Amino acid sequence: MTPDDLHPAIDPVRLDRLAETAVRVGLALKPGQPLVMTAPVEALPLVRRIAHHAYAAGASLVTPILSDPAVTLARFEAGSEASFDAAPGWLYDGMGQAFDGGAARLAVVGEDPMLLAGQDAARVSRVGKAQSVAYRPAMDRIVNFAVNWTIAAYPGAAWASRMFPDDAPAAAVGRLVEAIFAASRVDGPDPVAAWVRHNAALRARTEWLNGQRFDALRYSGPGTDLTIGLADGHEWHGGASQAKNGVLCNPNIPTEEVFTTPHARRVDGHVTSTKPLSHQGTLIDGIAVRFEAGRIVDARASRGGAVFAELLDTDEGARRIGEVALVPHSSPISASGLLFFNTLFDENAACHIALGQCYSKCFLDGATLSPAEIADRGGNSSVVHVDWMIGSGRLDIDGLRADGTRVPVFRAGEWAA
């Protein structure tokens, strides 16, 4: 890497810390393990540093797969109608084979979150659905936590300008740099130690929740009166978790959540979003839905409603939820007051739920369960997994036990105990 490759607002020392943290903490990469990495082409400076640290950790091979916004837009500008239903299944089949062969997975995000905002919503949805279906061989290994994987972020210029539109481009990148480095805990001299302390705090929360054995969670707040049943034999996770290959990794850099699998057929009531959702290059805001017996039966959005409707119609599982996550309103990302337009960050600013596929690891014996057994216990199945935020400083959550006992979990957006 040469200095000319790096934006002047990005500190190379802290960028290197982020790369090392992604490899050592996010992946906990093992000697001899291959690494498959995806990233926008703009993130090459981080990709190169990750490759360096991966090889230093003993990686057998680092394979980067890069995307480019101009190529993405070319399909919408000049592609045939049939092209909007195409996806590289051969690539994702290969990624699935790589994971079966022991490869780790790292995704670098940093692209313009609103890249496709001006495109036809139906075409955007078709591309997203084709991509989700084709990606299933790789996604199954991820959601089943078959391998160690993680996500990290690079401060892309277009992303920065979306977040800070009133700033000059260089100043916007500088502000995004500071936000990413702070949230990722690499702005201090020893990020690994910082992550050890943070993981211990998240572990304490999961241990308390797992000890409670709640049957359901009851959410109350402005525009929200929702009961979410929890899957039979569910298990809470947060921070570092052990993949099926035995590696203890942090799937998200950053992370502030503890999460588990809800029961796909026991969700009732209504809920409204508290932050916009950036999905497939479109901003979806003002989401309001009503659940009956686990399924969304009424839905609307004040912005991006067409894309949201297309998302819900992806498949049967897209109208049910596969994840429920708890995040205090005082989390560092929430306290920053920033809207990142990126789920990796925004989901860690508020309690959230995810439409679609569940995580099999969020069962007490998830590694041994078949897809049919997961479904019997309430786990949802879908080709999508889309998180959206429902938490705020005015949200109360009670844990409900099978005998009807109510235990305060959150009050005014904060942990009650």
pLDDT for position 184: 97
Strand order in the sheet with 258-260: 237-238, 258-260, 321-326, 352-356, 385-389
Q: Is the peptide bond before 254 cis (omega within 30 degrees of 0)?
A: yes
pLDDT for position 349: 96
- Tokens representing 329 are 């309103």
Q: Are 356 and 382 in contact (CB under 8 A)?
A: yes
Q: Mean pLDDT throughout 178-190?
A: 95
CA–CA separation, 83 vs 123, rounded Å? 10
Q: Please calculate the CA angle 386-390-396 and round it to the nearest 5 degrees.
A: 145
Which carries the bigger pLDDT value, residue 368 or residue 345? 345
Query: Looking at the DSSP assignment, which residues form a beta bridge with residue 75?
Result: none
Share of the chain above pLDDT 90, in %: 91
pLDDT for position 3: 39
* Dihedral (Cα; 365, 368, 371, 376), 10-degree rounding: -40
- CA distances 250 to 107, 128, 147, Å, are 13, 27, 12
pLDDT for position 121: 85
Flag whether pLDDT at 4 surpasses 60: no
Cα 199 from chain centroid (whole Å): 17
Query: What is the assigned CATH class of domain 3-183?
Result: alpha beta
Q: Where are the domains of the chain?
A: 3-183, 213-415
Q: Mean pLDDT throughout 365-388?
A: 93
Flag whether pLDDT at 100 surpasses 70: yes
Flag whether pLDDT at 1 surpasses 50: no
pLDDT for position 94: 97
pLDDT for position 5: 77
For every residue of 312-369, DSSP letters joined together read: HTSSGGGGSEEEEEE--TTSHHHHTT---SSHHHHGGGS-EEEEEPPPGGGBTTGGG-
CA–CA separation, 133 vs 140, rounded Å? 11
Name 165's Cβ contacts closer than 8 Å, sequence gap at least 6: 172
Flag whether pLDDT at 73 surpasses 50: yes
- pLDDT band with cut points at 50, 70 and 90 for residue 143: confident
Q: Are 416 and 298 in contact (CB under 8 A)?
A: no
CA–CA separation, 256 vs 328, rounded Å? 8
Q: Write the pLDDT tens digit of every residue in 259-317.
A: 999 999 999 999 999 999 998 888 899 999 999 999 999 999 999 999 899 999 999 99
Q: Which amino acid is at 313?
A: D
Q: Which amino acid is at 75?
A: R
pLDDT for position 87: 97
pLDDT for position 154: 98
pLDDT for position 2: 43
pLDDT for position 401: 97
Name 105's Cβ contacts closer than 8 Å, sequence gap at least 6: 35, 36, 37, 95, 99, 138, 141, 142, 147, 148, 149, 150
